[in-house]
Amino acid sequence: MKFRINRMAALIAAFGASGMLPAAATDGAGAAASAGRPAQLAPVVVEESRPQPLPVASRVDEEAMRALRPATSDTASLLRDVPGVQLQGAGGVSSLPVIRGLADDRNRILVDGMDLIASCPNHMNPPLSYLDPNGVSRLRVIPGVTPVSLGGDSIGGTIIADSPAPRFAAAGQAPLLGGEVGGFYRSNGNAWGGNLSAVVANENLSANFSATTAKADNYTAGGNFRNFTATGNPGRTLARDEVGSTAYETHNYQFGLAYRQNDHLVEFKYAYQDIPEQLFPNQRMDMLGNTQNRFNLHYRGQFDWGQLDARAYYETVDHLMDFGPDKRFYYGMASGGHNAVVGMPCSPISATCAAGMPMKTDSNTSGVALRADINLGANDLLRTGGLYQHYRLDDYWPASGSAMWPLTFDNINDGTRDRFGIFGEWESRLDAQWTTLVGVRYERVTTDAGSVQGYNPNINFTTMMMGMMPMRIYSNQQADAAAFNAQDRKRSDNNWDLTALARYVLDAQTDLEVGVARKTRSPNLYERYTWSTWSMAAVMNNFAGDGNGYYGDIDLDPEVAYTVSASVDWHASDRSWQLRATPYYTRVKDYIDAIRCNNNTTCQPPNATTTNQFVVLQYANQSAELYGIDLSSELPLASSSYGNFGLNGVVSYTYGKNRDTGDGLYNIMPFNARLTLTHRLGGWDNALEFVGATSKDHLSDVRNEIGTPSYGLLNLRASYSWKQARLDFGIDNVFDKLYYLPLGGAYTGQGTTMMINAIPWGIAVPGMGRSVYTGVSFKL
């Protein structure tokens, strides 16, 4: 044992840092359930004879989540210590997970078993934003080679987020009454919030309720990151270290009811979210209203032959975007013209006065899923099932004056996206050393959209003056709409996924795992059906956060990714220490990247050649490759009367390249590491954490992507737990260092953001400066 610990320390030193959370960790029955194992329906531990499922899921354990909750209101940020996972910057509760260089829709994200979709041209309401960190009980990631039973319509990985499972009283015992109440405060941004939950149950029936709220002002960086203070609004300026458009307010509520009888469980969950404000530092617009209702009915039953799982769900979203307080609101000649630093209030809306630019999105999603896990013997398990999902979207921009007048602009009209999928998967334990998994999945994805119109379909904008600026630099909306409407817009994709995985147990301290996969994702509605090349409309369609404008291509093909990965897992027999290394390679056919708009009528010639401005782009199929390595480890250092000391860490490297152009892929995280010294003594749980990244200089030139310098940060956190209470304290960015987020995108958080290049290009979004936080919770 002594030899192996020394070998581990040497390996960690050789890599320069090590992994934060053990990627090989699983959450017992929870992980088994996620991969198709019979899961417990009662608060009784069920021992399983099968080996842990393939592949091993990276898990954020409950203790890690409890430590992070006071420091964040963004559920996706709970994944920050998972090997291979990074976060693409967005709003304060809406960052987008990136798995090995593949972000957003390229990953499948399940929230309580539901496939949710971002209903916004800027993806301001991604699936994980509908769960508050205090509302998450289980959070798992399966990167890269994903079993077909957990994949589908994705080429990256799968993220599984679950709210608390229903609790029941033990047989013959008194009814169960319980709950929790808590709150937090963070100094940077004056952020505060609270959570409340309650449960009442007997041995067969359980009811629960939870509510969370969070609110924050703009945060400040670790120093001045720009040389201007204007917001474009009269009387409002921002200090040069204040990161504009980072404030937010959010409220989440959930009610659950469950019935259990023997080996059968039926549960119903209703959730409601209200976000009156979430501002975005890397988008032209802000979210000024988002309400979601979701209904989720779930059945799980255990039979002699195996387990049956069925689910039906329905979701509605009402979403509103406009300019928040840090972005200019009034436009048009009556406001002083587009060149004015400050837009003066004007009314009524007309050809010379625009009051904001409201953008509304309405969507509904309905789905059903069925899955059966069939025991074929002591060592063989067959998983089979399917799903159907119907998604409908209307994205429209009511008239607000000046160039946005007099009609409603149809960004996507009556958009639909339907998925039908079936899969089969066989997991087999060949002997004491070999476990294999093979699977195939078929999905048919059908998309369509109705005809569209611009703000004024009867005006040729190439020859008119509309009070803001010469409209010759805008596209002819009439021509764009006519060309779009003349096309057959319905597309159907037949997508196939194939997965093969194998694990070999070399000895009690070494596991080997290898996998290959073919995975497919169809374009989303915004990639296919946004149609206007007009720069002002295009910059409002951007979920990359790079400040550029985008429009779609109806003829986009699905992305097809071929991935191979291998893992070596060294560990103690009792897993008191472990190190896991996973190199991987992915080649993507028909990767949806971007090309410059170079039409002289709609996009002026500088758009095709400029290297220091924001540009208009069209989505396009190209070829791409990504490769890299993830390292993670956990190492005990010492145990004494002063407590238990340990060293955890994670190291990740990803390289992404467009094989057609030689360009770098957008928003690839540079080499980065997180190293944590832990200490535990009695009720104390403390950590000293170093976070660092090298400079980001392999960039997407077609987007004029902004590079970022290297940085290193120090964080400190401590907690003390009693039987019924917990107190947390921490300091993030202890030395108040100014640094820039490698995946934060371009800073568009203040000023005249409607016009494509009326704000400075070349400023990356800075990270948060020093923040002192505290949190407290009580179990009832």
**Maximum distance among all alpha carbons in the chain?**
81
Identify the pLDDT of residue 377: 92
Q: Which helix (H) or strand (E) holds 680?
A: strand 672-681
**Cα distance between residue 6 and residue 717, in whole Å:** 28
* Model pLDDT for residues 17-41, shown as the tens digit of each residue: 333 333 333 333 333 334 443 433 4
Residues 538-543, mean pLDDT to the nearest whole number:
96
* Model pLDDT for residues 232-255, shown as the tens digit of each residue: 999 999 999 999 999 999 999 999
E-strand ranges in 169-222 read 176-186, 191-201, 205-216
Q: How many residues does the chain have?
A: 780
Residues 288-300, mean pLDDT to the nearest whole number:
98
At 458, is the pLDDT very low, low, confident or very high (cuts 50, 70, 90)? low
**Cα distance between residue 519 and residue 559, in whole Å:** 8
- The candidate with the shortest Cα–Cα distance to 325, out of 284, 279, 362, is 279
Q: What are phi and psi of 737, to 5 degrees?
A: -80, 135
Beta bridge partners of 393: 363, 415
Handedness of CA 210, 184, 110, 24 (dihedral sign): negative
**Pairing between strand 286-303 and 354-355?**
unpaired
**Residues 591, 596, 602, 606, Cα dihedral to 10°:** 170
End-to-end CA distance of the chain: 43
Cα 73 versus chain centre, distance: 13
Most confident stretch, 57-66, 483-492, 591-600: 483-492
Beta bridge partners of 664: 657
> Residue 772, Cβ neighbours under 10 Å: how many?
14
Per-residue burial over 466-477, b if 16 or more Cβ lie within 10 Å, else e, is bbbbebebbbbb
> Residue 271, Cβ neighbours under 10 Å: how many?
23
Identify the pLDDT of residue 598: 80
* Model pLDDT for residues 343-384, shown as the tens digit of each residue: 999 999 999 999 999 999 999 999 999 999 999 999 999 999
Residues 441-458, mean pLDDT to the nearest whole number:
93
**Residue 169: helix, strand or coil by DSSP?**
coil
Identify the pLDDT of residue 599: 72
Would you say residue 154 has pLDDT above 50? yes
**Cα distance between residue 542 and residue 538, in whole Å:** 8
Residues 92-109, mean pLDDT to the nearest whole number:
97
**Cα distance between residue 755 and residue 565, in whole Å:** 44
Residues 706-715, mean pLDDT to the nearest whole number:
98
Would you say residue 497 has pLDDT above 70? yes
Would you say residue 660 has pLDDT above 50? yes
